[in-house]
Structure 1
Amino acid sequence: MYTKPEFAPLSRDEVFGLIEAAAFATVVTAGPQGLVVSHLPFVLDRARGENGTLISHLARANPHSTLISEGRETITVFHSPHGYISPSWYPRNPVRDSAPTWNFAVVHCHGHPVPLDDHGTARHLLQLVDVLEKDRDDRWGMRELGPGGMERRIPGIIGFDLPIGRLEAKFKMGQDERLYDTGGAIRVLEQNDPALATMMKAHNAHRQD
């Protein structure tokens, strides 16, 4: 992925935090007939492997599942808050030479998937639902499917681990723009996209005029 040094993440924790907050990724695997793409939910195990391990699942009926079972090289793409940046948000100055841009944060995880057996797939599904339901007042659990509910579904699903062999991250948050221009954009975004504004603030806090 093309990037610049100034777009580097602040820390490994920030990268992992983006993955966990997104919890959903575009998954690309190279197959004999070309690239195959799916869109899947993920759980991240930060402690397993040098760069962590992703865990997900997909339908066995999905042709992508064959490539996953074969362990073919796969990339997952996680996105964070992103948005259009208009030059009209920049403070007025005599020279209006700024162009529009798009600020975003993205993480690419490269690896070779390892298929799970039925027991591993069931364990993953329980964990995934627990993670996604944890902040809800009316939490739902997989066990509420009733007797045999999980067992009936498992044959149609394949779970897999994706040990992250290579991790790429890009946080393009206005670091390459004039600081007072980026500050003007942040002030506008605080009103209509506070999540993006907060991330831009964090990535420009070290800069000086």
Structure 2
Amino acid sequence: MYSKPEFAPLSQDEVFCLIEEAAFATVVTSGPQGLVVSHLPFVLDRVRGENGTLVSHLARANPQSALIAEGRETVAIFHGPHGYISPSWYPRNPVRDSAPTWNFAVVHCHGHPVSLDDHATAKHLLQLVDVLEKDRDDRWRMRELGPGGMERRVPHIIGFDLPIDRLEAKFKMGQDERLYDTSEAIRALEQNDPALATLMTAHNAHRQD
């Protein structure tokens, strides 16, 4: 992924938080006929492996499941806050001569998947539901599927680990724009896109120019 040094994450924790908050990724696997793409939910195990390990599942009927089972090279792409940055927000100094751009945070997790057996797949599904249902009012629980509900479904699913061999992160937050322009963009976004405004503020806090 093309990037610049100024677009680096502030910490690995920031990268992990983006993955956990997004939870949903575009998954690309290299196969004999080219690239195959799915869109899947993930749970991140921060402590397993140098860069953590992702855990997910997909339908066995999905052609990508065979490539996953073979351990073919795969990348999971997570998106964080992003949005259009309009020069209409910039001060006239004396003119607004910066071009429009798009600010965004993205993480690419590269690795070779390892398929899980039925027991580990069922355990993953329980954990995924716990993560996604956390703090919900009247949260749903897997046992509500009823007797045999899990057993009927798991044979049609393949769970897998994706140990992260290579982690790429890009937080393009206006660090390469003039500070007074970026500051005005932050002010404009604070009402309509506070998540993006907060990230931009954090990634430009050190600047004195």
Do Structure 1 and Structure 2 share a fold, with TM-score over 0.5? yes
Deviations 1:34-55 (A, max 9, x none): 0000000000000001100000
CA distance in 2, matches of 1:91, 1:44: 42
What amino acid is aligned across from residue 156 of structure 1 in structure 2? H
CA distance in 1, matches of 2:62, 2:109: 21
CA distance in 1, matches of 2:168, 2:113: 17
The number of aligned residues is 209
Deviations 1:24-75 (A, max 9, x none): 0000000000000000000000000110000000000000000000000000
RMSD value, Cα: 0.6
What amino acid is aligned across from residue 54 of structure 2 in structure 1? L
Q: Which residue of 2 aligns with 1:51?
A: 51
What amino acid is aligned across from residue 188 of structure 1 in structure 2? A
CA distance in 2, matches of 1:11, 1:145: 40
Q: Which residue of 1 aligns with 2:38?
A: 38
1:135 aligns with 2:135: yes
Q: Which residue of 1 aligns with 2:2?
A: 2
CA distance in 1, matches of 2:45, 2:87: 40
CA distance in 2, matches of 1:75, 1:134: 27
CA distance in 2, matches of 1:157, 1:120: 11
> SS in structure 1 opposite 2:26?
strand
CA distance in 1, matches of 2:136, 2:89: 37
CA distance in 2, matches of 1:196, 1:91: 20
- CA displacement at 1:103 relative to structure 2: 0.1
Gaps of 5+ in 2: none
Deviations 1:161-201 (A, max 9, x none): 00000000000000000001000000010011000000000
- CA displacement at 1:96 relative to structure 2: 3.0
Q: Which residue of 2 aligns with 1:69?
A: 69
What amino acid is aligned across from residue 72 of structure 1 in structure 2? R
- CA displacement at 1:123 relative to structure 2: 0.2
Gaps of 5+ in 1: none
Q: Which residue of 1 aligns with 2:153?
A: 153
What amino acid is aligned across from residue 165 of structure 1 in structure 2? D
> SS in structure 2 opposite 1:80?
strand
- CA displacement at 1:95 relative to structure 2: 3.7
Does the 8 Å contact 2:112/2:163 carry over to 1?
Answer: yes
Task: Judge which range, 187-196 or 134-143, deviates more.
Answer: 134-143
1:24 aligns with 2:3: no
Does the 8 Å contact 2:90/2:96 carry over to 1?
Answer: no
- CA displacement at 1:143 relative to structure 2: 1.2
- CA displacement at 1:140 relative to structure 2: 0.9
> SS in structure 1 opposite 2:81?
coil
% same residue: 88
TM-score (norm 1): 0.99
Q: Which residue of 2 aligns with 1:107?
A: 107
